[in-house]
């Protein structure tokens, strides 16, 4: 049982500020649709694990795979018209859900507008239970990379022991790569998801 076991009732609805959650996960500004869908999938797994209703409030134009006012897997997805109107819109949604609503945001304006009558939670507290159940493939890839000590892309090549002069020249010819091939391969690898 997670943190939301404290608030467990049949009317508990967790309203997540999508902008704050994206920023807490390191994505600022306009977030690509793929990343927004990954976020919604993570929220859906969280809702299933905690057995609670989750409403995600994003901003901008609705995604084709997650239309406004519809459920995406286990999460009801709503959109504010713009980042400027986001605070008022999320408060309106939270008030419409009644006393069982828990508003999760790091936006100071949202916190002020919510007042003391509404249950609120900071994003840092929410992330403690949100990140516990595992993360998407991107998170797993990131943790695997950190286990290896980071990306190898910027690491200089290893020095090999010196060989005899004849062997050294032939080894250098086979070992050298034109820089253009390396940069093209790196660019292609960044565009596709590699499977180990």
Give yes or no for a contact between 57 and 89, defined as CB atoms under 8 angstroms apart: yes
∠51-98-12 over CA atoms, to 5°?
15
pTM score > 0.75 for this model?
no
The tens digit of pLDDT for each residue in 44-88 reads 999 998 888 999 999 989 999 999 999 999 999 999 998 889 989
User: CA 89, CA 91: separation in Å to the nearest integer?
Assistant: 5
The length of the chain in residues reads 196
Cβ density class 153-168: b for 16+ within 10 Å, e for less:
eeeeeeeeeeeeeeee
Give pLDDT < 50 ranges for the chain.
1, 135-148
pLDDT at 190: 65
SS3 category, 13: strand
User: 14-131 — its CATH code?
Assistant: 3.40.50
Q: What are the domain boundaries of the chain?
A: 14-131
């Amino acid at each position: 049982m997670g943190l939301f076991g404290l608030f467990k009732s049949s009317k508990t609805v967790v309203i997540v500020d999508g902008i704050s959650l994206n920023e807490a996960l390191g994505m600022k500004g306009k977030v690509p649709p793929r990343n927004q869908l990954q976020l919604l999938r993570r929220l859906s797994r969280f809702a299933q694990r905690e057995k609670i209703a989750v409403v995600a409030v994003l901003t901008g134009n609705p995604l084709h795979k997650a239309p406004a006012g519809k459920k995406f897997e286990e999460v009801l997805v709503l959109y504010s018209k713009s980042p400027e109107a986001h605070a008022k819109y999320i408060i309106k949604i939270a008030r419409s859900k009644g006393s069982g609503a828990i508003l999760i945001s790091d936006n100071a304006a949202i916190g002020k507008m919510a007042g003391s009558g509404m249950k609120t939670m900071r994003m840092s507290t929410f992330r403690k239970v949100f990140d516990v159940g595992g993360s998407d493939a991107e998170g797993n890839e990131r943790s695997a990379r950190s286990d290896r000590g980071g990306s190898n892309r910027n690491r200089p090549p290893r020095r090999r022991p010196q060989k005899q002069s004849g062997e050294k020249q032939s080894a250098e010819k086979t070992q050298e790569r034109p820089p253009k091939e390396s940069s093209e391969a790196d660019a292609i690898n960044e565009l596709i998801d590699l499977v180990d």
